[in-house]
Structure 1
Amino acid sequence: MKIFGLLLMLFSLNALAALPGDSLYQLKDEWQSHDEKTIKMHDLVGKKQIIAFIYTDCTTACPVIVSDLKRIQQAMTHEQQQQSGFVLVSLTPGTDTPKVMAHFAQQRQLDQHWTLLSGNDDQVRTLAMALNIRYMGLANGEIAHSNAITVLDEQGRLLFQQSGLPAGPEDVIEKMGL
């Protein structure tokens, strides 16, 4: 078992070294996923990733964002889904614990293609800045934030960003090159 762990570590280091300099996967922070695993951004390598920032108790924009991502997934073939991942990053990591995120995923019927991430405030700010996502807390406890859908290539480089699905989910799939 020790040999397997060592091989896995060497593979991870080689994969990280092979990433382009503009890859988001160069960020080294550790995140907590909704299934209570510790992951780093480079663990997402190998699939195109559709990323959005949300918070679970939002009642306005976030449900629309999640709905848009679900529409994209529903428009994909099985093969396209195998080549893609969907990532939701919490803007309120203090309240969006892995258990809260798991409940959120279950309520919205998000399947194995989805990864919900919670970190700390600094990690969220760093990732948001890297993706040009703006957000700020409001006096009423809500979060004003960009409603961008971000798509990364298999190596964590930005393919494109957009708000909503103005041309439908098929347009996103086409832009992803799937």
Structure 2
Amino acid sequence: MKYLNYGAAVSEVEVNLLTGGTTVLQTDIIYDCGQSLNPAVDLGQIEGAFVQGLGFFMLEEYLADSNGLVVAEGTWTYKIPTLDTIPKNFNVEVLNTGRHQKRVLSSKASGEPPLLLAASVHCATRAAIKEARKQLVSWSGQDGSTTNATIFELEVPATMPVVKGLCGLESVERYLEWIIGTK
């Protein structure tokens, strides 16, 4: 029996150019659960799946050696979502869209599909990196367009070192001199 799940998410992030750290400031989710059997349980499932997806898209880098053995041996090298990675402002609206005759009590899944909504954080991070790169071109005094600054690939997961490298801030001292000089 097939049916479609509908949901949307929008996220706002802040990227630290010096460290590559990404803070999720706000996420708003709207999700269609069909006829919810228990809205409190569905809300928890949606939030939990989103946070799991946040780990997938932003943190959980699977590292293996040339023999295929996992080299990430704990939370020092394998990062999972924690309290400080959850959106600071996290809003979820559950839609009850009525009857689905062929579903158990007209319900729809709420546990797994919202994981994909965490892609909104990855997309917001990419947009922040793009803006940082454009600003760095302007303050560095480089001539020409910012086209090259806006073309880049952001893999999954977008870990701190990857984000820091893509931001392109190689000279922290020059950046700080520019910041102080503009005030």
Instruction: Judging by fraction of residues, say which structure has more strand.
Output: 1
TM over 0.5: no
Q: In which range does the TM-score fall when normalised by the shorter chain?
A: under 0.3
Structure 1 or 2, whichever has the larger Rg, is: 2
Structure number with higher relative contact order (C-alpha < 8 Å, ≥ 6 residues apart): 2
Please report the TM-score for the alignment, with normalisation by the length of structure 1.
Answer: 0.27
Please report the TM-score for the alignment, with normalisation by the length of structure 2.
Answer: 0.26
